[in-house]
Amino acid sequence: MKLLDRLFKDAPLATRNEITPKLGFVLTVLLAIVWLIPFLWMGVATLRPASDGINLMAELMPSLKPTLDNVRDAWEIGDFPRYTLNTMIICTGILLVQFVTITLAGFAFARLDFAGKTLIFYLFLMQLMLVPVLLIVPNLSLVAQLGLYDTLTGVMMPFFASAFGTFLMRQAFEAIPTELEDAALIDGASLLQRIRHIYVPLSMPSFSAFAIISVTSHWNDFLWPLMVINSPDKRPLTVGLSVFTATAEGTQAWGTIAAGTLMVIAPLLITFLIFQKRFISSFVTSGIK
């Protein structure tokens, strides 16, 4: 097997002569294959002509007469470029504001002294225990009162502050030696300058780890955007996609669904493939596994 040989060549040099790491490596490859099968199926189903019928739908063997009909159908049913743009606006908008809020809040909890600090921090963390669904009605009335019903800002609003992000940044900032800050203080750096030049650059891995979590969770969020958005041209990808995947009475066009799903995950998947190494290293250094 040429492929296996090549894969083994990538295995860490030091472990090449031992048995256990090799087994582990084989296991990883097997897991990767299991993980790949749905993707393969999605690709195959996307290209399968409707004339093949539902019988062949579950098969992994590609059709002999591949067609782009499903892609065309999915493309016509949903305004995918618009949905993608909306999702991107939502994800980046949330992330940019979150960066500011979690940096400042994380810093306050890590380095500033104020009355009731621990209590407030725990109250903050308690937010993590709440199921988001619970807050739909109060959040929506607030968004409507602010005049943000049916706007992308309304979708982003509730996520501007993040308990998880604050926690993560607090941990990261606490790990930074205070001596560095003291040195900057002697040089006359203001509070914001110290955050900007010492804390932020040294916590980059935590920032990227948080960015990944934030973007993927908001990219996949369905219920909240569904609540806020009415206008078809403001739908994010998830809501747009479910127009033809959600069914109540039992029928589904698998080919179109596969094509639509592929379109929805493609941007995220491609980004991941490009920045793969960086993603993984940021998770390793920030301690999230």
* Number of residues binding to other proteins, judged by CB under 8 A: 41
Q: Which residues contact 178 (CB under 8 A, 6 or more apart)?
A: 111
By CB under 8 A, what part of segment 33-92 binds other proteins?
53-55, 57-58, 73-74, 76-77
Count of Cβ atoms closer than 10 Å to residue 276 Cβ: 10
Retrieve residue 28's tokens: 């990883």
- Continuous segment of H or E residues that includes residue 207: helix 204-220
- Asked if residues 221 and 238 have their Cβ atoms less than 8 Å apart, the reply is yes
Q: Closest distance between other proteins and the C-beta of residue 141, in Å?
A: 4
Site string for other proteins, 214-253 (x = CB under 8 A): --------xx--xx--xxx--x---x--xxxxxxxxxxxx
Beta-carbon-side half-sphere exposure of residue 213 (alpha carbons within 13 Å): 19
Q: Closest distance between other proteins and the C-beta of residue 245, in Å?
A: 8
- Asked if residues 185 and 194 have their Cβ atoms less than 8 Å apart, the reply is yes
Nearer to other proteins, 192 or 223 (CB): 223
Q: Cα–chain-centroid distance for residue 58?
A: 28
Nearer to other proteins, 201 or 250 (CB): 250
Q: Closest distance between other proteins and the C-beta of residue 53, in Å?
A: 6
- Asked if residues 172 and 203 have their Cβ atoms less than 8 Å apart, the reply is yes
Site string for other proteins, 119-158 (x = CB under 8 A): -----------------xx--xx-xxx---xx--------
Q: Which residues contact 140 (CB under 8 A, 6 or more apart)?
A: 149, 227, 228
By CB under 8 A, what part of segment 161-180 binds other proteins?
none
Nearer to other proteins, 174 or 233 (CB): 233
Nearer to other proteins, 118 or 231 (CB): 231
Phi, psi (degrees; rounded to nearest 5) at 159: -105, 5
Residues belonging to the chain: 289
Tokens 């992000």, located at residue: 165
Q: Closest distance between other proteins and the C-beta of residue 179, in Å?
A: 51
- Asked if residues 82 and 145 have their Cβ atoms less than 8 Å apart, the reply is no
Q: Closest distance between other proteins and the C-beta of residue 222, in Å?
A: 8
Site string for other proteins, 6-35 (x = CB under 8 A): ------------------------------
Contacts to other proteins by CB under 8 A: 53-55, 57-58, 73-74, 76-77, 136-137, 140-141, 143-145, 149-150, 222-223, 226-227, 230-232, 235, 239, 242-254, 256
